[in-house]
Structure 1
């Protein structure tokens, strides 16, 4: 939902309805009711209770569910003219936003990844990024569930092609901060902004065993992309996307671009 809030803020500024918008999200969902509900859905990790710091392991062969996190993030979005006039520190440009809904299942994503593909394509088009080779970093939704990580990898391969997708540094920072639910999109947008400014890509931690032994007959693909395993890397990031692919196939994608000068 905070990804959508940022997308709506972008639309407001473009339409001239506001010069500056503060948008973000907050979530504090670690309580019996919420945890119990996700447990009933079998969405949470249960195999690493003795080593909880290792439980969130996106794109691993032995991933078994997500880990709930809590937190908040807010970003100040403003037109370039407004930012320059007040001498603001500009981290990057929020360049595009795409949103779709799979309408496939009440919780599960469409395994084909079609909704995610359309949202990514829409964000790139909205950002005016015609050359997909400009994308150097993807902050993936990467929940550490079997269905999401499989579907999301498939979507990346469809959008960028297998070879180009392997050149992109991808990471799921949920491996470190957990799934903040409604606040996740804003936090991961902030991470993208800092990644672009600093030229440092955060890793996917707990990455130990690639998920390559998949069921091709069911349409699965090997999880063989560059998930930036365990150690962050220095790299200039010209453009990046952040994917939020929620329950029920609610997909939101933000595209960011480095500001020159």
Structure 2
């Protein structure tokens, strides 16, 4: 079994158009949730989101590319470009054949769906653009990343709702650890902030109209976000031989199914995934210093997640720091675990724990150290990243400080 390290990271989300801006926002506890700016927003009851504002696709892509790239694909390509540039890798010859891309998304080209449903049903048009299908398909982003960077190895997309990115990164980790690939580009993206995308989530009645306050007793729901984060996972010996900067080491992964309910989370399923990731990483609960929580701000998720952490960590649960950065960038659905991995890497590299902002009232059912409102300096050697999805699908990654 080979060791797996991260040698590049890239992102675009409501907090910033790159990693540096995002980490600065984490450190400052800045909120990227604001008024939603989309067509027909006045017909929505939910009018806030973690939206990427002032985004100009023409600054990053030409017109022909824009005709092929849904917004979620554009975000992915921007994040991948930053991650691969930081890694310093050029994919050619044997390395290109052994390198692949695994990305997560829940909805894929939701903006493209929305625009074309409008054209056909509302405007009465009888034709749509010939590239609508390749633009909206869930694997579009992975395919375009593979083409842009000559990645000819294992490449596919994972769609498991809010756990999509963690499942994708877990698969990438397994490919490199097993020796099947030397390098995998991985992460996830989502862009559901269009009229149909928000309206669909409204129907679930889990959305907040005023903000995301995970673990706070007065929380009243989740807030959608959008964006992408992409990472380069690399064989440690390969990275070491070429003198690459190592950001962190991926040391464990676990996935479980609740097999219980399509929307209600299970403490047992989540706890098994958390314990499984520690077991796979060969670390004990007392070695884990930080958990990036799924922390959606819904009553069902937050109390279930805290109970799962308490079960998995036992008497060490009150010593581990647990925070939800969704309070800042919103819930990126299939892309959320990828953006949240940035906070884990920051904790390990910089010794700074991103806070749970918007925390106002203690909740006895969430009586853990949720790092309320203000970032904290702390030495952390091992971190976990939780993702729990509709359908009862759970995925947890374990990371260690760079060797």
**Equivalent residue, structure 2, for 1:37:** 200
Structure 2 counterparts to residues 97-246 of structure 1, below 5 A: 97-110=253-266, 113-129=267-283, 131-161=284-314, 163-212=315-364, 222-246=365-389
1:250 aligns with 393
Q: Which runs of structure 2 are paired with 1:5-44 in the superposition (5 Å)?
A: 5-44=168-207
C-alpha displacement at 1:64, in angstroms?
1.1
More helix per residue: 2
Q: Which residue of 2 is the match for residue 218 of structure 1?
A: none
Q: Give CA deviations for 1:14-45 in whole Å, capped at 9, x if unaligned.
A: 11110011001111111121211111111111
Structure 2 contact 291–320 (Cα < 8 Å) conserved: yes
**Distance in 2 of aligned mates of 1:124 and 1:61:** 29
Q: Secondary structure at the match of 2:220?
A: coil
Larger RCO, structures 1/2 (Cα 8 Å, 6+ apart): 1
User: Are the counterparts in 1 of residues 346 and 353 from structure 2 also a CA contact under 8 Å?
Assistant: no
DSSP 3-state at the match of 1:115: helix
Structure 1 distance, partners of 2:239, 2:377, is 28
Q: Is the 8 A contact 2:343 2:353 kept in 1?
A: no
**How far is the alpha carbon of 1:190 from its aligned partner?**
2.2
Q: CA deviation at 1:259?
A: 2.6
Alpha-carbon shift at residue 121 of structure 1 (Å) = 1.1
- Counterpart contact for 2:186–2:230, Cα < 8 Å: yes
| Structure 1 residue ranges, 4+ long, deviating more than 4 angstroms after superposition | none
Q: CA deviation at 1:79?
A: 1.0
Q: 1:74 aligns with which of 230, 233, 237?
A: 230
TM-score by length of 1: 0.90
* 8 Å CA contact 2:252, 2:277 repeated in 1: yes
CA apart distance, 1:125: 1.0
Gaps (5+ residues) in structure 2?
1-163
Alignment gaps of 5+ in structure 1: 49-54, 213-221
Q: Distance in 2 between matches of 1:186 and 1:87?
A: 25
Alpha carbons 1:99, 1:252 under 8 Å: kept = yes
* Structure 2 equivalent of residue 87 of structure 1: 243
Deviations 1:213-247 (A, max 9, x none): xxxxxxxxx21110000001111111010000111
Contact 1:70–1:180 under 8 Å retained in 2: yes
TM-score (norm 2): 0.59
Q: Indicate the structure (1 or 2) with the bigger Cα radius of gyration.
A: 2
- In 1, distance between residues paired with 2:274 and 2:285? 11
Q: What displacement does 1:96 show?
A: 0.5
Counterparts of 2:392 and 2:355 in 1: how far apart (Å)?
Answer: 26
How far did residue 2 of structure 1 move?
1.0
- Per-residue deviation, residues 181-236 of structure 1 (Å, max 9, x unmatched): 11111111122112200010010001110112xxxxxxxxx211100000011111
